[in-house]
A and B are shown apart, each in its own frame.
Chain A
Amino acid sequence: MADTVAAPADAEDREREPAGFAFEDRPRPLEGIRAYGLIMAMWVRSTMAYRASFAMTLFGNLAVTAFDFVTILLMFTHVDALGGYSLPEIALLYGLSATAFGVCDLLLGSMDRVGSRVRDGTFDTLLVRPVPVLAQVAADRFALRRLGRITQGLLVLGYALVTLDIAWTPLKMLLLPMTVISGAAIFGAVFIAGAAFQFVAQDASEVQNSFTYGGTTLLQYPPTVFAKDLVRGVTFVVPLAFASWLPALYVLGRQYPVDLPQWVAFLPPLVAAGCCGLAGLAWRAGLRSYRSTGS
């Protein structure tokens, strides 16, 4: 499978190479986004060559993430509330976190391959191309099937919004899309920082998974379920709480278990910007420390 996909990819790159030099007059971020778009389009085309396979993996992606929510549904066949939260309330937390994570997973989900690329020496190839390395790594093996996760998150979010009895204000309505976008950016920062860590520890991609997949699993349950120290950790150290809990609890009119003022519910964009800045610095430091295996 890998071979058949890689061959047209290389051919594609050779064709695009001359166009690559035209990037030089553009500002770097734009150049990166353009390169990301080109690589992404290439992977989408190669995926669509096997439509049946794509449909199956899309379904599989949706089903495997849906199991998280099925578990919660099974739990609710035995109880009416978990950690003091009803099913629709938990569905709101779940929907926000799963959608945000899904968006990030679609855009950056292959970042955990940095370690294996460093190990097998193919990372060097990325360095010699006249395209920002981060864009290449992020778009590497772009997998459209990950739309399954976003779909599943949106379905649960829809269920929550239909069943919940909330006194909607314009502010609360604005808060939801802002949370999803900021949440995706916060998760993205974790993905990038994790990838930067892999320059140091080459086959430790699972550590990254425990923060990304583990983080989204954690956010799918109400904060009252977890020990206070753990809640403090994901609020102040790795600020995942801003990706769903804090704004969602404001919408639900609930108290956060750790003492914080109400207005922190509106901080996610700032927190996301800060996280992305730090992740960018970590990525640069990681890239600078890179030593080729020489193979």
Chain B
Amino acid sequence: MARDKSTLLYAETHEWADVVDDGDSKIATVGISAFAIQQLNDLVYMDLPDVGKKVTAGEEFGEVESVKAVSPLYSPVTGEVIEVHSDLPDQLEQLNADPYDFGWIVKIRIEDEASLGALMDHAAYEKQCAEAG
């Protein structure tokens, strides 16, 4: 079933997080928005973290490169990387078509739920993108 992007949380830096309750803890599936992909244009390389890496909200966990530029990927949440979409770097062209389902990047077990408070809902993120033009 396709992910409903209107229920996602968004970072100012254009990452999205789909947060679900796992029983014991919350798991965030993380990707980058269609707006970001359109702005980046011509993606050629992605550098992903290893499973087990501790990440902090607002800090870099990887890189995505377009023809012209390197852009950091910032973690929208604080926690531990429990799964990495390792096929993605070889299929970056599919990110364009499907950033919210095929294009997930990492799954993070959230260790600090307070970090979620800094994220935007869909309406607020849409507004940010509209203002960025």
A interacts with B: no
Report which B residues bind A (CB closer than 8 A). none
